Each structure stands twice: as structure tokens, then as C-alpha cells.
Amino acid sequence: MSAREKGGPVRTVTHYVNGQTSTGSGGRRQPVFNPATGERIAEVVLGTAADVDHAVESAARGAERWGEVSLGRRQGILFRFRELMDVRREDLAKAVTREHGKVLDDARGEVARGLEVLEFACGIPHLLKGDFSENVSTGVDAHSIRQPLGVVAGITPFNFPVMVPMWMLPVALACGNAFVLKPSEKDPTPSLMLAEMATEAGIPDGVLNVVQGDAEVVDALLVHEGIAAISFVGSTPVARHVYRTATDCGKRVQALGGAKNHLVVMPDADPDLAADALVSSAYGSAGERCMAISVGVLVGSIGDEVRKRVQERASRLTVTDGSEDGADMGPLINRAHLERVAGLVAEGEAEGAELVLDGRGLQVRGREGGFFLGPCLFDHVTPEMEIYRQEVFGPVLSLVRVDTSGDALGLVNRNHYGNGLSVFTDSGAAARYFTSKCTVGMIGINVPIPVPMAYYSFGGWNDSLFGANHIHGPDGVAFYTKGKAVTVRWPQKSAGLDMGFTSHD
Ligand code: NAD
């Protein structure tokens, strides 16, 4: 057993406020694990309301100056941030794999998706262009502008420690706001790396701050008078709490919650394509993606063909340390989550679903302390079962059999989540039917994980998102700015009193 496993000294993951690292005011700390080994590799400081005050004060000073910085200069700094992140993408990806456990190649993909949002934000001079109407009344012109909100905060989940903060902060900063980030306490290091890069790129001190912590910090952010808006991504119960508390305090809120994404396989689909898609999207990142497919809806006669192919492919996956060559799937985030997911598998079995593949009890040689669960596959799952009802967030795929496309759509739309839906079919009419009628925010036709590009916006419906705005893309710009309509007249001489309501001639 190493000194670190015995509880010896490890690296401390700090806050980042006003351009400097700090251990803050509180005494509480929490271990950070490498999920592939179970080893304690760092300790993260857990902030307090006093740390939030300190960060918001620093951000308020930052926002005052930053909001006045010209668009061209802001853009130049964002370009430099983009260059630094690009050069260091491998360091970021390795940090993600070390603390989250996902396969290195997947971590590289997450960094790439984060970079894409930064690239979108580099276009801010174009994105903030307002409208102009000449002569709305005689000699009167009208135009619109969008202005920053001031200090905004982001609260992020463990499953994308680079990408989800990058969904928020580049757009918020580009719009002229200062940002306070509260990353997940389970994998906090990549956020610090991003903040340090931003400073190096020229983002002024105080404009991007990171407060580490848990619910105590979140709750302090939600009610803080100095914060104008909250972006949240995480599970539905916490998203609901964040939305209610922060809107009650008069803040603008976008709170993205959990998911239960379905992939519908129509009878005319290619069963090999559909099986490839089901396996990659259900077991990629060990199912810890908000866009993971956790339910395969097999319509009619194709059911047995698809099941056979999914079983073959899933049983061949290599589950090991995500930093190892050839790994298809890494561990789950921690032991508590592993036990929760294994418990749901047991419940599914007890409720009568057919357990086709059982990944429980998997031991990875040389990584005996890791939080591993192999691929689990259920068939003949019904909507009443817990394994269907709950967001499992692990490598568990449930197959549900239905007779018609109408049954498939009904199943999807009765689910209280509404994040993503995928439909595999060769029929344009079927694709159009699902696209038009489904009550989810993001749909893929023959695309298993339909994550929108950075220049579109990302967000679900129903219990997958609370608030009006989706995240990043055009909705992100709208969320992080306030609109102002300006009406202008430059009179040459007095026209006398006009006591009436404006007439437009
Ligand atoms: P989580 O809800 O447990 O935590 C998210 C954030 O909230 C963390 O920063 C955490 O510290 C904080 N938090 C946790 N409990 C809290 C509480 N009681 N009060 C206040 N704050 C609290 O989520 P997670 O386990 O880190 O991430 C997984 C979840 O995130 C899944 O449900 C997944 O679907 C969801 N997710 C959604 C999206 C999306 O775009 N909709 C994207 C990624 C992840």
C-alpha cells in the first residue's frame, strides 16, 4: 500500500480567486480518487459562504472593468485562450482520465468539444451585433444592444469536468461578464487548469474565479445578492432545487438536469448499424453521459436480431484503466456510485427483466481497488420497472420491445425526462414523424448521441431542463446578456409640445 493510500500527504486542489490559488477559509476537505485504482490522489478544499463572498467581490471588481473592454480586445484574449487550450489539450485530457476514469480518447473528445465552444465565443463581435431600423418615425431611428449581466456563476457535474464548464464560461466571458465556477468536487483539477490558462491568455484577475466545494458553496451562490445568473448542469433533483432557489432570489437561471435517453430501432433499420450505435452510446464513458442511450426501443420483428448483435458486441468490450491502450470503457466515478448502479441491476433482475449480460463483480488485474462494473444488458424491460424509471448513469442498457412506431413514440413521450432521442430507420417518413412529435430537446436520426455543435444550443425538455434558455450557442449569448432597445431623435429645432401618444408618421 502506498503512502497516499495510507492517508499520507497528497496534492491539494485549491480555489482560484482574483488570479491566485487559495485554500480559502474553511477547514473541510475531501479526497479525490483515481477511480481506476481506488487510490486517493489529491484532496480538494471545500469552500464556505465566506469563500463565495470573497470570489463574488473579486468578480464584481473584475466585471466592472471587463464589461468595458472593447470587443476586439476581448476577442483577442479569447483567441489566445483557445491557442493555449489547444496546445495543452493532452494535459487536460490526462487530468480528466486521472480523476474521472473515462478512456483517454474519450477525454480527448471532451476537450475538443469544450474547445469548440471557445471557438464559437471568439466570434463575439459578430454575435453581439444588434438590429438597426432607420426612420421608425420621421427623423427617429431605433436600435438594439445587448449588455453583460455582471457576475454570473456556473455549477457543474462530475461527468464532463472540462466540457461542461466550457459550455458556460467562454460565452459568459465573451459577453463581458465575470464568472464564478463551482466544479464538481469529485474531479476538480481540470477547472483549475482552465482558470490558470485563462489568466495566462490575458483574462484579467477576478474575471474568472473557481470556488471548490459541495452543496454548501452551491447554496451560498444561489442566494448571493451579487450574482445575476446561474447556469447549472447536474442531476434533476439538484437542478430543480437550484432553479427554485435562485429564481426566488430574482436570478436568471438555466438548470440542466438528468436524462433517460431512448434509441428507437425501426424494423427497416440496418441491425448492425443499430447495434453498433446502441453499444457505443450505452457503454461509452461507462454510461456516465447525460446523452448516453440507456433504453433501446426495438420495434417489431427486428428485436431479436438487434439483441443478438448488441450482446455479442457488448461482451467483447475491454473494461480497464482508461489510460491503458485498448480500453473501451473505464471505471465508474466512485465506490458509492458503483454500489448504487449494482443495486439497480439487482432490482431489475428481481423485478423480472431478463439479465442478458451481468457486469457485476468484475475484477481488473492490477487495478483491484478500482470502481469497475462491466457492461450489463437487460431485455424485456417494462416501463414500470425501476431500471427503466430511474436514471442509472452507468453501463446498463435496457431493451424494451414494442409493436409499432406509435408505441415507441408514446413510450418516449411518457418519460418525464426529455434530453435526447435517437431513431434508426431508412424511412424519411418515420424520421419526420419522430422529429416532429417527440417531446425531447435533441434528436438524432441514425446518430446515436445527438449532441448539438457549439454554434447550436444544447438542452432538453421536461425534467431535463428548468428555465427558458438552452446552453451555449445563440441561447448562451441571450442568457448571458440583457437586451436594450434604443430610440433616437436628433431634432434640428423645437417642434413644440406634443401631449399625445407617439404616432408613427
Ligand atoms: P449532481 O447533481 O450530484 O451534482 C452537480 C453539482 O451540484 C455538483 O457541482 C455538486 O457539487 C452539486 N450538488 C450536488 N448535490 C447538491 C445539493 N444537494 N445541493 C446543492 N448542490 C449540490 O450531479 P453529478 O452526479 O455530478 O452529475 C451527474 C448528473 O448530471 C446526471 O444526472 C447527468 O444526467 C447530469 N448531467 C446532465 C447534463 C445535461 O446537459 N442535461 C450534462 C451532464 C450531466
pLDDT in tens, 335-364: 999 999 999 999 999 999 999 999 999 999
C-alpha cell at 283: 457503454
The whole-angstrom separation of Cα 166 and Cα 82 is 11
Where does CATH 3.40.309.10 sit in the chain?
261-445
Q: How far is the CA of 213 from the centre of ligand 1 (A)?
A: 13
Where does CATH 3.40.605.10 sit in the chain?
11-258+460-485
Atom of ligand 1 nearest to the CA of 419: 41
C-alpha cell at 315: 461482451
Instruction: Using alpha carbons, select from 205, 209, 175, 181 the residue that is nearest to residue 69.
Output: 175
Ligand 1 pocket: which of 212, 238, 289, 415 to mutate (most atoms within 8 A of CB): 238
**Residue 503 confidence (pLDDT):** 62
150: left (phi over 0), alpha (psi -120 to 50) or beta: left
The 3-state DSSP class for residue 295 equals strand
Query: If you average pLDDT over residues 253-279, what whole number do you get?
Result: 98
Query: If you average pLDDT over residues 88-94, what whole number do you get?
Result: 98
C-alpha cell at 376: 450489463
Does residue 294 contact residue 398 with C-beta atoms inside 8 Å? yes
Atom of ligand 1 nearest to the CA of 219: 20
Torsion of CA 273, 276, 282, 284, to 10 degrees: -130
Ligand 1 pocket: which of 159, 212, 245 to mutate (most atoms within 8 A of CB): 159
Instruction: Report the nearest-CA residue for atom 6 of ligand 1.
Output: 157
Instruction: Report the nearest-CA residue for atom 11 of ligand 1.
Output: 214
In this structure, how many other beta carbons lie within 10 angstroms of the beta carbon of residue 134? 8
Sheet holding 132-137, edge to edge: 132-137, 140-148, 481-489
Of the listed 122, 175, 290, 376, which one is catalytic? 290
Atom of ligand 1 nearest to the CA of 242: 20
Atom of ligand 1 nearest to the CA of 214: 11
Q: How far is the CA of 432 from the centre of ligand 1 (A)?
A: 33
Query: If you average pLDDT over residues 234-257, what whole number do you get?
Result: 98
CATH architecture of 11-258+460-485: 3-Layer(aba) Sandwich (3.40)
Q: How far is the CA of 163 from the centre of ligand 1 (A)?
A: 14
Instruction: Report the nearest-CA residue for atom 35 of ligand 1.
Output: 234
Residue linked to cell 438487434: 306
- The per-residue pLDDT for range 6-54, each reduced to its tens digit, is 556 799 999 999 999 999 987 899 999 999 999 999 999 999 999 999 9
pLDDT band at 176 (very low <50, low <70, confident <90, very high): very high
**Residue 1 confidence (pLDDT):** 43
Active site (annotated) includes residue 290: yes
**Residue 128 confidence (pLDDT):** 97
Sequence letter at residue 78? L
pLDDT band at 493 (very low <50, low <70, confident <90, very high): confident
What residues flank ligand 1, with Cβ below 6 Å? 155-160, 164, 182, 184-185, 214-215, 218-219, 233-235, 238, 241, 256-259, 290, 391, 393, 419, 460, 464
- The helix (run of H) or strand (run of E) holding residue 461 is strand 461-462
Residue linked to cell 420483428: 301
- The per-residue pLDDT for range 299-343, each reduced to its tens digit, is 999 999 999 999 999 999 999 999 999 999 999 999 999 999 999
**Alpha-helical regions (H) of 202-330:** 215-223, 236-248, 271-283, 303-315
CA distances to 69, 182, 217, 232, 272 from 62, rounded to whole Å, are: 11, 18, 20, 22, 54
Listed in sequence order, the residues at least 6 apart from 302 whose beta carbon sits closer than 8 Å to its beta carbon are 265, 266, 267, 269, 271, 274
For the 261-445 domain, the top CATH level (class) is alpha beta
pLDDT band at 495 (very low <50, low <70, confident <90, very high): confident
pLDDT band at 501 (very low <50, low <70, confident <90, very high): confident
In this structure, how many other beta carbons lie within 10 angstroms of the beta carbon of residue 6? 8
pLDDT band at 227 (very low <50, low <70, confident <90, very high): very high
Residue linked to cell 499520507: 8
**Residue 470 confidence (pLDDT):** 97
Atom of ligand 1 nearest to the CA of 460: 41
Instruction: Using alpha carbons, select from 21, 1, 193 the residue that is nearest to residue 92.
Output: 193
C-alpha cell at 78: 479569447
The whole-angstrom separation of Cα 212 and Cα 28 is 11
The whole-angstrom separation of Cα 448 and Cα 276 is 9
Residue linked to cell 443495486: 343
Q: How far is the CA of 327 from the centre of ligand 1 (A)?
A: 26
**Residue 8 confidence (pLDDT):** 63
Query: If you average pLDDT over residues 156-180, what whole number do you get?
Result: 98
For every residue of 65-82, which 3-state class applies, written as one string?
A: HHCCCCHHHHHHHHHHHH
The whole-angstrom separation of Cα 61 and Cα 178 is 9
β-strand 293-299 against 261-265: which pairing, if any? parallel
Instruction: Report the nearest-CA residue for atom 14 of ligand 1.
Output: 215
286: left (phi over 0), alpha (psi -120 to 50) or beta: left
Listed in sequence order, the residues at least 6 apart from 485 whose beta carbon sits closer than 8 Å to its beta carbon are 142, 143, 144
Beta strands in 353-460 (DSSP E): 354-357, 376-379, 396-402, 417-418, 420-424, 442-445
**Alpha-helical regions (H) of 351-497:** 386-389, 405-414, 428-437, 473-479
Long-range CB contact pairs, 117-120, < 8 A, 24+: 117/166, 117/167, 117/170, 117/171, 117/454, 117/472, 118/78, 118/81, 118/82, 118/85, 118/166, 118/170, 119/82, 119/454, 120/170, 120/171, 120/454, 120/455, 120/472, 120/473
Mean residue pLDDT across the chain: 96
Per-residue pLDDT for 89 more than 60?
yes
Does residue 284 contact residue 329 with C-beta atoms inside 8 Å? yes
pTM comes to 0.96
The whole-angstrom separation of Cα 456 and Cα 473 is 5
Q: How far is the CA of 156 from the centre of ligand 1 (A)?
A: 7
**Residue 166 confidence (pLDDT):** 98
Instruction: Report the nearest-CA residue for atom 21 of ligand 1.
Output: 215
